[in-house]
Amino acid sequence: MSKTIDFYFDYSSPFGYLASERIEELAAKHDRTIVWRPILLGAVFKVTGQAPLTQMPLKGNYSMRDFARSAKEHKITYKHPENFPIGAVAACRATLWMRDHESENISKHTTAFVHAVFQAYYVAGKDISDTDVITQLANDIGVDHALLNSAINEQPVKAALRKEVDDAIALEVFGSPMMIVDNEPFWGNDRIEQLDRWLDQGGW
């Protein structure tokens, strides 16, 4: 088994989206497997006292410019959603259920699903807080929507998301994206170059 890149992200994180569009190329270069780790920054912010960037005093206008400029820097389509941030609990549960569901060829669809959800929100402007939107996105990539809809309403999947978030906080994951390789954390789309160099050199 190849080594991993733990990729922590919130679907309401613009920089999580930008990094999600870039991380596969990096992982392939270094022969690493991505472990998609959806979290809820709302829970993290209760610990850190932070708030969504667009709601922080003085920082809101800047963050909008920064999203747009950073997307252009990497030539990634980005349309700031009208409803932002958004509750992505169903999307997170669906992602976790797929990732950890190795039977029935389901876990192999996880990467495509993560991209589908992010692009639905930041490109197509869809309401990804809507469970029907999420199950339809899954169906479009070959995951039975009824099976998914059932799974994300069951206790084990709900518990899995709570555990994913709690474990992330225990590892001092405080933002999105946070990428951890061999216990070394890198926070932000703007740290992918440092992560690349770290993997090139095995530390520095």
Taking CB under 8 A as the rule, does residue 166 contact a second copy? no
- For the residues of 1-19, what is the DSSP string, one character each? ---EEEEEE-TT-HHHHHH
Give the residue, chosen from 12, 20, 70, 176, that forms a contact with a second copy under the rule CB under 8 A: 70
Q: Kindly give the pairing relationship between strand 178-181 and strand 33-38.
A: unpaired
Quote the longest CA-to-CA distance of the chain. 49
CB nearer a second copy, residue 2 or residue 204? 204
Q: State how far the Cα of 161 lies from the Cα of 150, in Å rounded to an integer.
A: 16
Give the residue, chosen from 56, 79, 125, 140, that forms a contact with a second copy under the rule CB under 8 A: 56
Q: State how far the Cα of 9 lies from the Cα of 109, in Å rounded to an integer.
A: 18
| Mask for 36-55, x = binds a second copy (CB under 8 A) | --------x--xxxx-----
Taking CB under 8 A as the rule, does residue 61 contact a second copy? yes
Q: Which strand ranges, in their side-by-side order, compose the sheet holding 4-9?
A: 33-38, 4-9, 178-181, 184-187
Q: How far is the CB of 47 from a second copy (least distance, A)?
A: 5
Q: State how far the Cα of 167 lies from the Cα of 64, in Å rounded to an integer.
A: 30
Give the residue, chosen from 62, 102, 142, 156, that forms a contact with a second copy under the rule CB under 8 A: 62
CB atoms under 10 Å from CB of 57, counted, come to 6
Taking CB under 8 A as the rule, does residue 75 contact a second copy? no
Q: State how far the Cα of 5 lies from the Cα of 33, in Å rounded to an integer.
A: 6
CB nearer a second copy, residue 110 or residue 189? 189
Taking CB under 8 A as the rule, does residue 58 contact a second copy? yes
Give the residue, chosen from 86, 112, 130, 187, that forms a contact with a second copy under the rule CB under 8 A: 187
Give the residue, chosen from 1, 31, 57, 75, that forms a contact with a second copy under the rule CB under 8 A: 57
Q: How far is the CB of 196 from a second copy (least distance, A)?
A: 11
What residues between 97 and 126 interact with a second copy by CB under 8 A? none
Q: Which secondary structure element, helix H or strand E, spans residue 67, and what is its range?
A: helix 60-73
Q: State how far the Cα of 31 lies from the Cα of 181, in Å rounded to an integer.
A: 12
Q: Provide the binding-site residues for a second copy, judged by CB under 8 A.
A: 44, 47-50, 56-59, 61-62, 65-66, 69-70, 72-73, 169, 172-174, 184-185, 187-188, 190-191, 194, 197-198, 204
